[in-house]
Structures are given as C-alpha cells and as structure tokens.
C-alpha cells in the first residue's frame, strides 16, 4: 500500500520567505539597489562657500542733542575697524525719515561720524541714504552696512526633501544619512571663522625669535635642559574667598 503524505502548511509558508531572502541577498551581491543620490559626506551635502555679503549694524536713535551712549560708541568703532580690515566698497548709513525725530537722527548720525573717524574711517567712505518708516511708534535705527567676504552655506538648513519614515524599503535599507544631517554644524563652523581666506589658503609663517633660538642652542651645547620653566603662582581657595 502506498502512503501519500500531505505537505505541511508551515513549510509552504516558510518557502516564500526563504525565497524572498535569497532574492534580496542576490540583489545585494549584484549591486542592483541604487543609492538615493544624496552625498554621504557632510561636506559635499553642505559645502562652505565664500561670497560677498552685507554686514550691518543698527544704531538706535538717541535723544535730541545727545551723543551716542558708551556701548553704541564702542559698537560703531569696532564696526569701523572691521570695515577697514575686510570691507569692500563704501560704507552706507540708512537714516529713518517720517518719525518726527529728525533732529535726534541727525545728532545720532553726527555721533556715528565721530566714532568712525576715531576708528580710522575716512569721512568720504560714508554715504548717507534715507528710508521711510512704516510705523513711527517702533524704534527706527540708523543702519550701517558694508559688503565683505563671508563664509556660509549656499542653502538654508531645515529642508527635508525626503521622508524620514519608512516610505520605500529600497531606499531605507541603504542606511544612508538624511539630507539635513550636519547642516547646522557646517553653518555654525562658517559663522565662527574670523577670516574666510583661511579656508582657501594657509597663512605665511611669522618672524622667528632668533634670540630665543640661540639661547636654546647655547643650553644644548652646554649640556643643559633647553626647555623653559614658567613660574606659576597658585592661590589657595581659602585665600581667594577670605577664609582662614
């Protein structure tokens, strides 16, 4: 007697799963899964570029007949020094009109001129323009602007061209970084650079201290330690707070 056995249902269910896994492994081996096209390197997705961009300082209008306050005087002087070091073209002062405080705006502009002169900015470098104020009740400053070479990103952060959720197994299985990753870090790095030219070329070496070098060579010839011993005075915590 011939006995025929029926196939187990569990084996039927396991066969398609095993077949799908084998096909997936085969596809990975052949490299059929294409990448999403987003560069893996953060520096390629969010490159730091150099461009001529405006740099501005708002100087709020004081009372009529009064000069700039100490903080605004220092701010304008530093702004003038930055303009002399990295400014391109002229320096523009935009003065508000229609506020009913024309005399105060004129006095503030005179204070700006004096602070810029102390910073070494020639009077001919400053050109004055006016702008209409939409709401006289709001503070309307005098805006100083000049163009300078600045480092930054060619686009803004916070863009999400692709869904971070599971939208496509073919794309999600690649485990690639999402587009916005590293954008804020690159933008912060660009904002912290004092001289954008440092990104494109190195600086030349400074002048050598010949006297210090000869002293070190002399000690080596005499068999002495050429290192420098710095004296550090340490203050006890009890002395700093007045305790005993």
Quick check: is 42 in a domain?
Answer: no
- Give tens-digit pLDDT for 138-185: 889 999 999 999 999 999 999 888 777 766 676 667 777 888 999 999
Quick check: is 43 in a domain?
Answer: no
194: tokens are 């004092």
Quick check: is 110 in a domain?
Answer: yes
Q: How far apart are CA 207 and CA 212, in angstroms?
A: 12
Residue 208's Cβ-side half-sphere holds a number of Cα atoms within 13 Å equal to 5
Quick check: is 8 in a domain?
Answer: no
Quick check: is 161 in a domain?
Answer: no
Structural domain tally of the chain?
A: 1
Q: Are 153 and 50 in contact (CB under 8 A)?
A: no
Could you list the residue range(s) of the whole structural domain that residue 85 is in?
Answer: 54-152
Q: Which CATH number goes with the domain that contains 136? A: 3.30.1330.60
Quick check: is 15 in a domain?
Answer: no
Quick check: is 20 in a domain?
Answer: no
In the prediction, which pLDDT does 7 show? 46
* Res. 8: pLDDT tops 60: no
- Give tens-digit pLDDT for 210-231: 888 899 999 999 998 988 777 7
Quick check: is 197 in a domain?
Answer: no
């Amino acid at each position: 007697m011939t006995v025929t056995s029926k196939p187990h249902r569990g084996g039927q269910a396991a066969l398609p799963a095993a077949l799908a896994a084998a096909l997936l492994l085969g596809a990975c081996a052949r490299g059929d899964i294409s990448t999403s096209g987003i560069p893996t390197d953060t520096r390629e997705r969010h490159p730091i570029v150099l461009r001529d961009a405006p740099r501005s300082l708002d100087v709020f209008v004081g009372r009529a007949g009064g000069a700039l306050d100490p903080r605004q005087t220092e701010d304008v002087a530093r702004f003038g020094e930055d303009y002399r070091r990295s400014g391109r073209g002229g320096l523009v002062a935009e003065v508000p009109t229609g506020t009913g405080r024309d005399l105060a705006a004129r006095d503030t502009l005179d204070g700006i001129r004096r602070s810029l002169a102390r910073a070494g900015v020639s009077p001919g470098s400053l050109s004055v323009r006016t702008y209409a104020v939409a709401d006289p009740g709001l503070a309307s400053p005098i805006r100083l602007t000049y163009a300078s070479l600045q480092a930054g990103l060619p686009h803004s952060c916070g863009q999400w061209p692709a869904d971070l959720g599971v939208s496509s197994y073919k794309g999600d299985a690649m485990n690639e970084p999402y587009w916005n990753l590293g954008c804020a870090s690159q933008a912060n790095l660009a904002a912290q650079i004092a001289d954008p030219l440092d990104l494109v070329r190195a600086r030349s070496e400074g002048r050598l201290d010949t006297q210090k070098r000869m002293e070190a060579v002399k000690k080596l010839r005499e068999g002495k330690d050429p290192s420098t011993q710095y004296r550090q005075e340490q203050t006890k915590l009890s002395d700093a707070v007045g305790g005993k």
